[in-house]
Structure 1
Amino acid sequence: MKRWIAAIPVTALVLFAGLAGWELSHPKKGDFERISRTAPDRAFERLEGGTLRFAPTPNGRTIAVNLFASWCAPCEAEHPRLTALAEAHPGQVYGVLYKDTPANGRKFLEELGNPYADIVLDPSGQGGLDFGLTGVPETFVISADGEILEHIAGPLDAAAVKQVGEALAAPRP
C-alpha cells in the first residue's frame, strides 16, 4: 500500500523533467533574444581595407546589418530578398562576412550580386557573438546612435523583409 504512495513524487518528477526537456528542445522564435542593447563597440576590418564601426552607424542613419557566409545555404536562399531590401533602402544594408575568407566572400557576391553598402570581416566569429548571433544568417537593425532595434534570427522571409524595411524607413529623432 505504501509503495504506490512513494511512486507519486517520482512520477511527478519524471513528468516535470519530460515537460522541461520538451520546452528546452522546442523554443519559440525569439525566446532567447535580448532587448535594448547596443551594437558591438568594435572596429571591424572592411573587406576592401580600412575599418568600420556600427555604433554610431557609418552614415548617421538607421541601418540593417546582415551576418552571412559563403558556406551558408540559408544565406544563399535569402539573398534575393536581401537584394530587394537593399534596393528599396540604398546605402542602409551592410554585411558581415562571418567565419569565412575574403576570397570565398567575394566569389559568393560575384555569383549572386552584392547588395551591401559595405562589408566587414569577422573571421574569428567574435564580432557575431558580440552582436548576439545565434547562427547565420541573421539581420540586425541598428539606429543611428548604435542601438539594436530589431534582431531577425534566420533567413529573411517576406514578413521579416517588411519588418526590417519599416524600421529602416521610420523617421528617428
Structure 2
Amino acid sequence: MPTDPSALPGTAPTSDGTLAIERAQRLTDVVTRLRRALRSSIRTDYPWESLPMAQVELLQTLAAAPLRVGELAARQRLAPNTVSGLVGKLLDAGFVDRQPDPGDRRTARIGLTETGQQQLRDWRRAHERRIAGALDTLTAEDQAAIMGALPALDSLARALTGPGGPAAPAPPAV
C-alpha cells in the first residue's frame, strides 16, 4: 500500500491544488456506495429488518442514555420536528418511551425500551454477520488494509462532527 497519498491512482497533485478535492470525491463515492450496499444487502439477506436508517441512528444515539428531543436533534443534526416525527414512529413501535426529566419536570427524555434495545442488538448482529461474510470474500491484504484504515476513518468521522457536534465515545482499542 503506498504511503505517499499522491501515489494513489487518480490522485496525482495538480498545480491548482485539486488533489484534496479529488481524494474527497473518491472517498465520498466509496462511502456512499458502501452505505447503499449495506442498506440493500441487509434488506435482501434479512428481510425482517425494515427499520429506516434514520430510526436506527436514533436508537444508536439513545443506547448511551435517554435524551430530550432537542438534544437528539442536535446530535443527529436534524430539525427538531423531524426528530419528533421519528420518535413518534419509534414510540408506536414500542422501541422508545418517554421518561421524566429529573432536571426539568416540564420536559421528557426519550429512552430505549427493552424492545428497542433488542431491536438494536438484532440490527447490529445482522450487520456484523453481513459485513463479516463480505470481509471473508476479500484477500488477506484487503482485509488488513480495511482494518488498518479504521482508526483513520474514526478520526475523520470525529473531524466531520467538529466542535459542538455529537461527541461519540472512543471505540475500544483492538
Q: As a proportion of its length, which structure holds more strand? A: 1
* Structure number, greater radius of gyration: 1
- TM-score w.r.t. length of structure 2: 0.30
- TM-score w.r.t. length of structure 1: 0.30
